[in-house]
Structure 1
Amino acid sequence: MGDSLVDSGDVRTVVTQAVTALRGVAGLDWQAPAGDLEWSCWETVEHVADDLFAYAGQLAAEQPPLDRYVPWGFTRAREGAPALTVHVDAERGPDGLLQVLEASGGLLAATVQVSPAQRRGFHPYGISDACGFAAMGIVEMLVHLHDLQRTLGFPWSPEPDVCARVLRRLFPDAPEGDEPWPTLLWATGRTELPGHPRQTSWRWQG
């Protein structure tokens, strides 16, 4: 199952896999809802890119705040849309959207790679180190790719090892005995497991 550490290389790998999968469906309807979400496929990818950018920001300062997010400004494109600092130029289409996703992932990976071991940053689910923010970014990518897959229909099955390490880092109380990817989907409220109904609320341990 691999070591419990989640690192910058994992972030880069998952971002590359996600972008490759999404480029294969760039010609489909990105304004359709992503799975069970109220957000469109476009808004969901913007949300992931925004999270990756924000997680990098939580670690990037020499003395990151431990009681709040870095105060980036944000707006919503419509009522019910995600609150975003990172907005993509709609005229650039899905190719531009995926460039922004890839760039945000690169920012997080680079920040995780150079962050001192003792550095911590704020998240409402718990003050976290670089390994934790790497794992959070990977969770956002993996589970939202699952949401997108349900609508856009592309092949998507992440590597079991990275899922297992993310589970150990962020969801140490998740049930054992099932494959890591279905367990991660259960831990994030996407599905049920044998003997464990689908969760209606969830959070990780930063």
Structure 2
Amino acid sequence: MPPSAETVTADDLREAVQLAVSALAKAPPDAWDAKAGSLEWDCWETVEHLSDDLFAYAAQLAPKTPPMDGDVPFVWESRRPSGPANAIHANRDAGPDGLLRVLDACGGLLVAMVRTVAPDVRAHHGFGAADAEGFAAMGIVETLVHTHDLAAGLGLPWDPPAGLCSRALGRLFPDAPRDTDPWPTLLWATGRTELPGRPRLTSWRWYGAPRAPR
């Protein structure tokens, strides 16, 4: 199935976040210190990082004049050496339920911005100034792929819908294979796995700039 040329929407992003929250809610309460897949972060830190990604994308779109030369200057800091540098940290006293509530809330912020920002608005991202659709697609990729990392660490199943994967691939990865299943292809495009005849990538990027009119 080829990457889709369909528009990525706020509803797609909401579906990705809700699927992730529902899947992660099944984790044992004592499992969150496990390493998240191939990442150097534990599972708790990885959810904080994902939440931070979604928050940061919403923040880029939120100002009356979104920044084109850098990020909105929140303080991003790590709480341990080699930990993720986040502006968002969950209160450990709230436990895993509170952690997932933070993820849900940050996803909701980005969903709201994608719904309300005009189509001609652009904001800075290191992989190309993006529109609201681009930030939605980035949020979907972050959510699907980091939930894959988390599922590996938490011992959970995770197989997101092909349509979500296909639309995100079509928006952000124009050079991705078009003759392979969308979910394995998205994992390959983000350096998580190999595909038949295609070794695992050691470096990768997406292309967030708006697509040419079609």
Is TM more than 0.5 here?
yes
Q: Which residue of 1 aligns with 2:71?
A: 69
Q: How does 1:156-195 map to 2 (within 5 A)?
A: 156-195=158-197
Q: CA deviation at 1:170?
A: 0.3
The whole-number CA distance in structure 2 between the counterparts of 1:141 and 1:153 is: 17
User: Would the aligned equivalents of 2:5 and 2:170 in 1 still touch at CA under 8 Å?
Assistant: no
Q: For the aligned residues, what is the CA RMSD?
A: 1.0
The whole-number CA distance in structure 2 between the counterparts of 1:110 and 1:26 is: 31
Relative to structure 1, the CA distance from residue 95 to residue 26 in structure 2 (aligned partners, 3 Å threshold; closer, same or farther) is farther
Map Cα deviations across residues 131-167 of structure 1 (whole Å, 9 max, x no partner). Answer: 0000001111100111111111212111101101100
Q: How does 1:29-40 map to 2 (within 5 A)?
A: 29-40=31-42
Q: Which residue of 2 aligns with 1:51?
A: 53
Q: Report the TM-score when normalising by structure 2.
A: 0.94
Structure 1: 4+ residue segments shifted above 6 A? none
User: Would the aligned equivalents of 2:13 and 2:139 in 1 still touch at CA under 8 Å?
Assistant: yes
Map Cα deviations across residues 59-78 of structure 1 (whole Å, 9 max, x no partner). Answer: 01111010100101121110
Counterpart AA for 1:198: R
The whole-number CA distance in structure 2 between the counterparts of 1:179 and 1:17 is: 19
2:13 equivalent to 1:11: yes
Map Cα deviations across residues 41-84 of structure 1 (whole Å, 9 max, x no partner). Answer: 00000000000000000001111010100101121110100000
The whole-number CA distance in structure 1 between the counterparts of 2:122 and 2:30 is: 40
Q: Which residue of 1 aligns with 2:106?
A: 104
Q: CA deviation at 1:12?
A: 0.8
- Identity, % of aligned positions: 56
Q: Report the TM-score when normalising by structure 1.
A: 0.97
The whole-number CA distance in structure 2 between the counterparts of 1:28 and 1:89 is: 16
Could you tell me which of 83, 86, 89 is aligned with 2:85?
A: 83
Q: CA deviation at 1:4?
A: 2.1
User: Would the aligned equivalents of 2:49 and 2:86 in 1 still touch at CA under 8 Å?
Assistant: yes
Aligned residue pairs total 206
Map Cα deviations across residues 83-104 of structure 1 (whole Å, 9 max, x no partner). Answer: 0000111111111100000000
Gaps of 5+ in 2: 209-214
Map Cα deviations across residues 107-149 of structure 1 (whole Å, 9 max, x no partner). Answer: 0000000000100111000000000000001111100111111
Map Cα deviations across residues 18-56 of structure 1 (whole Å, 9 max, x no partner). Answer: 000011114241011101110000000000000000000
Q: Which residue of 2 aligns with 1:135?
A: 137
User: Would the aligned equivalents of 1:35 and 1:148 in 2 still touch at CA under 8 Å?
Assistant: yes
